[in-house]
Structure 1
């Protein structure tokens, strides 16, 4: 069966995009934390995390565990309404300059074709969802930050949205993936599971 035959044999075409490094031209989350803390506070605040950072570099601590330490350091205890305002300012400010025009053109191509578009990223939903909604994505899922009593706890709610978790979230939303013709766009090892379930995977070549 040819690729064209395969695409017409399935009910719906879906385009799934990673965010950091795929739509954006850089990783955004630590820059979001820097944006919130302000650079003159952010960099000195890393000193207590020195051992964690060293252990991540030496692979004694996973990158995801190291990430949680950053979240706790900079977001733990913050009221959600305060963080929501930071997210809106981040989207309107630096984030808009980090979006690849080629990726936006590809997204709009899918939308013009009537394809269902989904954003699946390890970036937190706090800014990923409002940004994705502004771009017309049909569904958006990312890592979720835990909230208790209207404040961020500094922990992740559930699992980081990376690797197999991206596929699980996709199945949670779509159901049987075999019913869909899937384009997938990613740029890192955290996207490999997603790319493996795609009919048309694009790894670091989403612009072609």
Structure 2
């Protein structure tokens, strides 16, 4: 959820100069379940969306925990949240999203946190790349002390959410598009990407180093066939 008022960055982001690049998916990679559901719960608690919507979000979270959401499932969940937010004033949501980001950070898997800190200690440029809203992903990245968070933008007109996306959904091929939007054209041959889902195969294949984290069965098979490392984090 953001106004597209920030200027485009140059061909490569200056902060990347001479540094490695580590890209982390968020949901079911760094944290169990869906960060989007944490946001949905908060919107219900604040009466921004109807209380009955909480049942749907909890049901989707259970499904996500058991088998993950990919492709149309992830898009339907995102569309549902966008539709609920249509006509809501944007600015008052920002403090709430920051609080939800802090809540998501507290859910981080300990082993995932150690992995993040390892890359930070190496001096890598570390970012979270997720289909969740840009502001939520940014808040999580800030809470973790990472360099950047890149998520899905929502359109804001005259200070109100329209219920439409502003750019591509940061999912599957859209993750590469959002990376280009935010950081310019990148050489990913030395980058390492971590993800749990086969929907992230475009990103994983674009990076020089790919790691499957708690992978779904399709990604597990692809990782085994390609020789990518597989991490099963508790």
TM range (shorter): 0.7 to 0.9
Distance in 1 between the 2:126 and 2:55 partners?
41
Distance in 2, matches of 1:104 and 1:134, equals: 12
Aligned counterparts, 1:160-179, within 5 A: 160-172=169-181, 173-177=183-187
Query: Conserved in 2, the CA contact under 8 Å of 1:12 and 1:181?
Result: no
Q: TM-score, normalized by length of structure 2?
A: 0.69
- Alignment partner of 1:181 is 2:205: no
Cα 1:195/1:36, change in 2 over 3 Å: same
Aligned residue number for residue 56 of structure 1? none
The gaps in structure 2 that reach 5 residues or longer are: 1-17, 57-70, 214-229
- Displacement of 1:23 in angstroms is 1.0
- Over the aligned positions, Cα root-mean-square deviation in angstroms equals 2.8
Please, which runs of 5 or more residues in structure 1 have no aligned partner?
Answer: 1-10, 49-60
Q: Which runs of 4+ in 1 moved over 4 A?
A: 39-43
Would you say the 8 A contact 2:204–2:210 is kept in 1?
yes
Aligned match of 2:61? none
2:26 aligns with: 19
Which structure dedicates a bigger proportion of its chain to helix?
1
Q: Secondary structure at the match of 1:191?
A: helix
Q: TM-score, normalised by structure 1?
A: 0.76
Where relative contact order (Cα < 8 A, 6+ residues apart) is larger, the structure is 1
Contact 1:71 1:154 (8 Å CA) reproduced: yes
2:92 aligned residue:
82
Q: How many residues align?
A: 184
Which of 1 and 2 has greater Rg?
A: 1
